[in-house]
Amino acid sequence: MNHALETLRDEVFARNPGEAEFHQAVSEVFEALDPVMERHPQYVEAGVLHRLCEPERQIIFRVPWIDDNGVVQVNRGFRVEFNSALGPYKGGLRFHPSVYLGIIKFLGFEQIFKNSLTGMPIGGGKGGSDFDPAGKSDREIMRFCQSFMTELHRHIGEHTDVPAGDIGVGGREIGYMFGQYKRLTNRFEAGVLTGKGLTWGGSLVRTEATGYGAVMFADSMLKTRGESMDGQQVLISGSGNVAIYAAEKAASLGATVLTASDSAGYIVDPDGLDLDLLKQIKEVERARVSEYVERKGGRARYVAGGSVWDVEGTVALPCATQNELDESAAKTLLGNGVKAVAEGANMPCTEAATRLFLDAKTLFGPGKAANAGGVATSALEMQQNASRDSWNFEYTHDRLEAIMRDIHDRCVETAEEYGTPGNYVAGANIAGFIKVADAMIAQGVV
């Protein structure tokens, strides 16, 4: 990294103290941009990076609600509207006790480049709350979501900011928030939220899109080396929406999916996961993955604690949360002969782990490229809402596949153009940045 970029990075860190995840996301982008700044001095002159690292708007608000015992609870809500050069802010809402401003800023910053890579007209933003949905009743979830939207509604809209789901926010939560938005605004503005139910403006494939997209990206990477997902032994972390549908897509392409996990431990099934059983446990019953082994029997086993990355496999798909796959886990995976890693979650690999994969020339798809399928399909949902249309599964799936293939190919071409062939991290960051930077210059200093 050249001196000017180092200086700016240090300034960003100083202006945003204690926000480790945001610092990590900024560092990854900056490390890729040396050749870009050298070749395109107009980006330096226009202060593009200075502006890109400062959100256009940061909103923090109180979320009071009453639990089932009649006790008043107070959480903190966030929405960081990071960059609107390409379109309305677009990015999910995360409900999890780990959420604080630094997490939301890291996610929003990543979202700028991810959304740029999709080729769709959407800017970058993110939001959420430190509310924990685990163990809450449906009525508590509803009351919280209504209180959250009572404040958030004044900052969003289909031409301004379009939230979606993320960790802790699925169809149930989106439904409660949409209902409250409709009540407050007296408008059925379908395009204000994505991830909606199919009967009231949602899109087919949206549920599957992030997991499907990550596997499509991994398959495209493998094909550059004459292989495919067919016959691969796949390791997946997590057991939420992304993990389940990554497993489904991998299995449909001929892979054997061996693992899934939650915060308590992980399961290993050498015969391949029974996805119908896993869906019943996680999507219907909202139970722990340990239930899988008790019901499946056979060779399936459960490991309390530990690391899912200790299992031998050829393809790794981290689909849980940020920084879940560290340097030690990366060394284990490499020692076991992993061929490809595609990030289904946002920044699930630490900086040290990513460096090890890149140094080993292992195929490595960063989250801003590999997990872009979710937001791409959200943009397709916005298109359907705008035209009062509804597309069938096959058409939407084909659109998603074309988008993921295009993202993969642009990462490859851009990495080659800027002297780092095969480096998907550099390719994704540079390709995503250039499109946003050009738009920012065209629109003036705003």
Asked whether residue 268 is assigned to any structural domain, the reply reads yes
Q: Is the pLDDT of residue 292 over 80?
A: yes
148 and 9, same structural domain? yes
- Bridge partner residues of 91 (DSSP): 163
Is there a binding annotation on residue 90? yes
Where residue 281 falls among pLDDT bands split at 50, 70, 90? very high
Asked whether residue 412 is assigned to any structural domain, the reply reads no
242 and 152, same structural domain? no
Q: Summarize pLDDT for 47-59 with one digit per residue, the tens.
A: 999 999 999 999 9
126 is catalytic: yes
What distances in angstroms separate CA 89 from CA 59, 264, 323, 326, 418, one per listed residue? 13, 35, 25, 31, 29
Query: Residue 2 has what pLDDT?
Result: 85
Query: Residue 271 has what pLDDT?
Result: 95
250 and 178, same structural domain? no
234 and 134, same structural domain? no
Asked whether residue 435 is assigned to any structural domain, the reply reads no
The per-residue pLDDT of the chain, averaged, comes to 97
Find all residues with CB under 8 Å of 231, minimum gap 6, and list them: 254, 255
Unique residue bearing structure tokens 């340097």: 327
Cα distance between residue 295 and residue 289, in whole Å? 11
Amino acid at position 282, single letter: K
Q: Summarize pLDDT for 328-353 with one digit per residue, the tens.
A: 999 999 999 999 999 999 999 999 99
Query: Residue 211 has what pLDDT?
Result: 97
Asked whether residue 213 is assigned to any structural domain, the reply reads yes
What distances in angstroms separate CA 373 from CA 95, 124, 210, 211, 268, one per listed residue? 21, 15, 5, 8, 27
Asked whether residue 441 is assigned to any structural domain, the reply reads no
CATH number where 327 lies: 3.40.50.720
Q: Is the pLDDT of residue 139 over 90?
A: yes
Q: Is the pLDDT of residue 1 over 80?
A: no
Asked whether residue 128 is assigned to any structural domain, the reply reads yes
Is there a binding annotation on residue 210? yes
Given 105, 126, 339, 435, which residue is catalytic?
126
Query: Residue 386 has what pLDDT?
Result: 96
Asked whether residue 92 is assigned to any structural domain, the reply reads yes
Q: Summarize pLDDT for 74-104 with one digit per residue, the tens.
A: 999 999 999 999 999 999 999 999 999 999 9
168 and 28, same structural domain? yes
Find all residues with CB under 8 Å of 350, minimum gap 6, and list them: 24, 323, 325, 326, 327
Query: Got the DSSP string for 193-251?
Result: -SS--GGGT--TTTTTHHHHHHHHHHHHHHHTTT--STT-EEEEE--SHHHHHHHHHHH
Cα distance between residue 167 and residue 161, in whole Å? 19
Where residue 390 falls among pLDDT bands split at 50, 70, 90? very high
- Nearest C-alpha neighbor of 349 from the set 336, 361, 339, 358: 358
- Nearest C-alpha neighbor of 428 from the set 161, 242, 121, 221: 221
231 and 116, same structural domain? no
Cα distance between residue 343 and residue 372, in whole Å? 10
Domain termination residue (choose one: 346, 361, 376): 361
249 and 179, same structural domain? no
Dihedral, CA atoms, 383, 372, 199, 398, nearest 10 degrees?
A: 70
Amino acid at position 265, single letter: G
Is there a binding annotation on residue 241? yes
What's the DSSP call for residue 281?
A: I
274 and 181, same structural domain? no
Region 145-150: mean pLDDT is: 98
Region 287-316: mean pLDDT is: 95
CATH number where 75 lies: 3.40.50.10860
Are residues 117 and 36 in contact, defined by beta-carbon separation less than 8 angstroms?
A: no
Query: Going by DSSP bridges, is the β-strand pair 72-83/259-262 parallel, antiparallel, or unpaired?
Result: unpaired
Asked whether residue 196 is assigned to any structural domain, the reply reads no
Q: Summarize pLDDT for 60-78 with one digit per residue, the tens.
A: 999 999 999 999 999 999 9
Q: Summarize pLDDT for 400-409 with one digit per residue, the tens.
A: 999 999 999 9
Query: Got the DSSP string for 37-65?
Result: HHH-HHHHHTTHHHHHTS-SEEEEEEEEE
φ, ψ dihedrals at 304, nearest 5°: -75, 135
- DSSP-based three-state secondary structure for 6: helix
Query: Residue 3 has what pLDDT?
Result: 84
Domain termination residue (choose one: 361, 395, 412): 361
Is there a binding annotation on residue 114? yes
Host domain of residue 124: 3-187
289 Cα distance to chain centroid:
22
Q: Is the pLDDT of residue 365 over 90?
A: yes
222 and 158, same structural domain? no
235 and 143, same structural domain? no
Query: Residue 333 has what pLDDT?
Result: 98
Q: Could you give the angle at the alpha carbon of 21 between the alpha carbons of 173 and 171, nearest 5°?
A: 10
Cα distance between residue 67 and residue 143, in whole Å? 8
- Tell me how many domains the chain contains: 2
357 and 217, same structural domain? yes
238 and 95, same structural domain? no
Region 352-369: mean pLDDT is: 97
Are residues 278 and 239 in contact, defined by beta-carbon separation less than 8 angstroms?
A: yes
Q: Summarize pLDDT for 167-196 with one digit per residue, the tens.
A: 999 999 999 999 999 999 999 999 999 999
Domain termination residue (choose one: 361, 396, 418): 361
Query: Residue 4 has what pLDDT?
Result: 87
Where residue 270 falls among pLDDT bands split at 50, 70, 90? very high
